[in-house]
C-alpha cells in the first residue's frame, strides 16, 4: 500500500510517499522520523531564520567557528561541487542574490520575517572557504547560502534513513525527487517533468526510474522564485560571472543522478551556463540522463534530451 503526506517546509511544498505492507504504526513512525528531520534541518540551515546555524555562521564571518557534523558535510560537498562546476555553483553568491531582490522568504505568511541583510557584502570564490576538523571560516564581509545543495543533501539523507525499511518510496522536496524500490504495482517509479511555462502547468514527459535503486531527479529553472525590484525583473539563479540573475535560454534543466545533492547543483549550473555550453558541462560531469527545456528570444520552445529513460509526451 502506498502512503503519502504533504507539508510546507524548506520554502516549498514537500511530499513524502512510501510503499510498504499494511503496517500503519511502522509507516507513521517513519513519517514522523522524516518530518522531524526535515523541520530540524530547516531550523538549522535556513537563511531565513536568524537563529539558524547558517545565519549565526554568516553573522560571525571572519572568525573560525565551531560547526555541526551535518554542516561540515554540506560545506565539504558544496566545496567539491563548486570545483566540479568550475564555480557555476558558488555558495558565496548570497549577497548578490539578496541584492538582486531575493531578500525575503517567498512563502505566504512568512514574507515579513526578520532576517539578516548581506546584500552589501562581497562575493568571493570557493577557495576562500576553509574547513577544519570541526570548524569552518569564511572571510569577513562575506556570507553563504546553501541553495539547492542543502535541499539535495536532505533528500539523500531522508532516502538513506528509510530505504532499507520500506518496499519503495518517493520524496519530493520542491523540485528534487528521490525515488527508491518499487511502486505499489511492483514497477519502477515514473517522475513527471514539468513543462517550462510561466503558468507552471502541464508536464512535458516523464523519467522512468530504475527498479530497486536510489535515483534522484532534480529540476532547476527560472520560472519559479522570481520578482521585480526597482523596476528590474529578477530570478533566483545568479550567474557568478556577472553577479546578476543569469541571462539564459535554458528555462528548466532536469538532471538525473544517484545523488539528489549532485543532481540539484548540476541542474542549476546547466541553467546558468545556457544551452550552448551546458551539453559540454553535462558530458564532463558524467551526466547521461538530462532534459533541457529551451525558450529562445522569440519565445519559441525546444528541448535537448539525452538518455533513454527520459520520455517526452
Partner 1 sequence: MLQGTSLANLALIRVALDTNSIDNYNKWSKMRTYTVQENTKITPSTLLLTLQRDDQERPLAFQPGQYAAISFEHKGKKAPARCFSIVSPPTDQDTLQFSTRIRGHYTSALSSLQKDDIVNVYGPFGGFVLDVTRDKKAVFLAGGIGITPFISMLRYLNRLDADNQISLLYSCQTQDDIAFDKELLSIEARKPNLKTTFVIGKGPIDKLPNDNAATGFISAELLDKATGNNYAEQKFFICGPPGFMKTMVALLVKKGVARNRILTEAFTQSSPRQTSILRSWPANVYALSAIGVILGSLIVGVSDLLRTLPPTTPYKPTDSSPFLLTTARQKQLDQLVNTIPPSPNVITPPSANQTPTYAPSTSTTNTPAPTFAPIYVAPAPRTTVSTPPP
Residues 31-70 touching partner 1, rule: CB under 8 A, are 31-32, 35-37, 39-40, 42-44, 46, 48-51, 53, 56, 59-60, 62-66, 68-70
Which residue, 220 or 240, is less far from partner 1 as judged by CB?
A: 220
Q: Which of 185, 198, 228, 298 binds partner 1 (CB under 8 A)?
A: 185
DSSP characters over 26-39: HHHHHHHHHHHHHH
Helix axes 148-162, 260-273, angle to 10 degrees: 150
At 304, which helix (H) or strand (E)? strand 301-306
Least gap, CB of 236 to partner 1 (angstroms):
7
Query: Among 100, 144, 218, 295, which residue sits at the site for partner 1 (rule: CB under 8 A)?
Result: 218
> With binding defined as CB under 8 A, does residue 238 bind partner 1?
no
Within residues 84-103, the interface with partner 1 by CB under 8 A covers: 84
From 19-27, 241-249, 275-283, 295-303, span contacting partner 1 (CB under 8 A): 19-27
Is residue 132 part of the contact set for partner 1 (CB under 8 A)? no
In this structure, are residues 226 and 233 in contact, taking their beta carbons and an 8 Å threshold? yes
Cβ proximity to partner 1, 231 vs 258, nearer residue: 258
**Counting contacts by CB under 8 A, is residue 241 touching partner 1?**
no
Residue in 268, 257, 222, 237 with CA at minimum distance from that of residue 96: 237
Q: Which of 184, 176, 185 is nearest to 214 (CA)?
A: 176
Question: With contact defined as beta carbons under 8 Å apart, do 304 and 254 qualify?
Answer: no
Span near partner 1 by CB under 8 A; candidates 111-119, 122-130, 239-247, 299-307: 111-119
Binding mask 278-307 for partner 1 (x = CB under 8 A): ------------------------------
Give the three-state DSSP class for 51: coil
Helix H or strand E segment including 14: strand 12-19
**Can you say whether the dihedral through the CA atoms of 161, 166, 170, 171 is positive or negative?**
negative
Of residues 147-176, those binding partner 1 (CB under 8 A)? 148, 151-153, 156-157, 160-161, 170, 172-176
Secondary structure class of 176 (helix, strand, coil):
strand
Instruction: Identify which of residues 152 and 181 has a Cβ nearer to partner 1 in the complex.
Output: 152
Q: What is the DSSP string of 57-111?
A: HHHTTTS-EE--HHHHHHHHHHHHHHHHTTTSS-GGGHHHHHHHT--S--STT-T
- The binder of partner 1 chosen from 262, 269, 275, 278 (CB under 8 A): 262
Which positions from 188 through 207 interact with partner 1, judged by CB under 8 A? 189-194, 200-201, 203, 206-207
Does 110 contact partner 1 by CB under 8 A? yes
- Tell the smallest beta-carbon distance from residue 162 to partner 1 (Å): 10
Least separation in angstroms between CB 296 and partner 1: 19
Q: Is 25 in the site for partner 1 (CB under 8 A)?
A: yes
Reading the block at residue 282, the C-alpha cell is 553535462
101/231 with CB nearer partner 1: 101
Taking the complex as a whole, the smallest distance from the CB of residue 312 to partner 1 amounts, in Å, to 14
**Burial of 199 from C-beta contacts in 10 A (0-12 / 13-18 / 19+):** exposed
Amino acid at each position: 500500500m502506498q502512503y503519502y503526506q504533504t507539508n510546507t517546509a524548506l520554502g516549498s511544498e514537500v511530499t513524502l510517499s512510501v510503499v510498504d505492507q499494511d503496517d500503519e504504526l511502522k509507516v507513521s513512525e517513519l513519517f514522523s522520523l522524516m518530518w522531524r528531520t526535515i523541520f530540524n534541518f530547516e531550523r538549522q540551515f535556513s537563511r531565513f531564520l536568524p537563529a539558524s546555524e547558517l545565519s549565526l555562521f554568516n553573522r560571525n564571518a571572519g572568525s573560525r567557528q565551531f560547526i555541526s557534523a551535518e554542516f561540515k558535510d554540506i560545506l565539504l560537498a558544496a566545496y567539491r561541487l563548486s570545483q566540479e562546476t568550475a564555480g557555476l555553483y558558488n555558495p558565496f553568491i548570497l549577497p548578490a542574490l539578496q541584492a538582486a531582490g531575493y531578500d525575503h522568504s517567498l512563502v505566504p505568511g512568512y514574507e515579513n520575517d526578520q532576517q539578516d541583510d548581506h546584500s552589501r557584502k562581497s562575493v568571493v570564490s570557493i577557495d576562500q572557504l576553509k574547513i577544519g576538523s570541526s570548524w569552518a571560516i569564511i572571510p569577513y564581509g562575506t556570507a553563504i547560502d546553501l541553495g539547492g545543495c542543502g535541499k539535495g543533501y536532505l533528500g539523500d539523507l531522508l532516502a538513506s534513513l528509510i530505504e532499507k525499511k520500506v518496499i519503495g518510496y518517493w520524496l519530493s522536496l520542491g523540485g528534487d525527487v528521490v525515488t527508491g524500490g518499487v511502486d505499489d504495482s511492483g514497477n519502477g517509479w515514473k517522475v513527471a517533468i514539468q513543462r517550462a511555462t510561466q503558468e507552471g502547468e502541464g508536464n512535458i514527459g516523464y523519467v522512468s526510474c530504475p527498479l530497486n535503486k536510489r535515483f534522484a531527479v532534480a529540476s532547476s529553472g527560472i520560472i519559479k522564485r522570481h520578482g521585480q525590484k526597482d523596476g528590474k525583473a529578477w530570478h533566483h539563479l545568479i550567474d557568478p560571472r556577472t553577479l546578476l540573475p543569469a541571462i539564459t535560454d535554458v528555462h528548466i534543466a532536469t538532471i538525473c543522478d544517484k545523488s539528489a545533492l549532485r543532481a540539484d547543483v548540476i541542474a542549476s549550473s546547466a541553467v546558468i551556463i545556457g544551452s550552448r555550453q551546458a551539453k559540454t558541462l553535462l558530458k564532463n560531469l558524467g551526466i547521461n540522463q538530462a532534459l533541457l527545456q529551451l525558450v529562445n528570444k522569440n519565445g519559441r520552445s525546444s528541448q535537448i534530451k539525452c538518455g533513454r529513460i527520459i520520455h517526452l509526451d
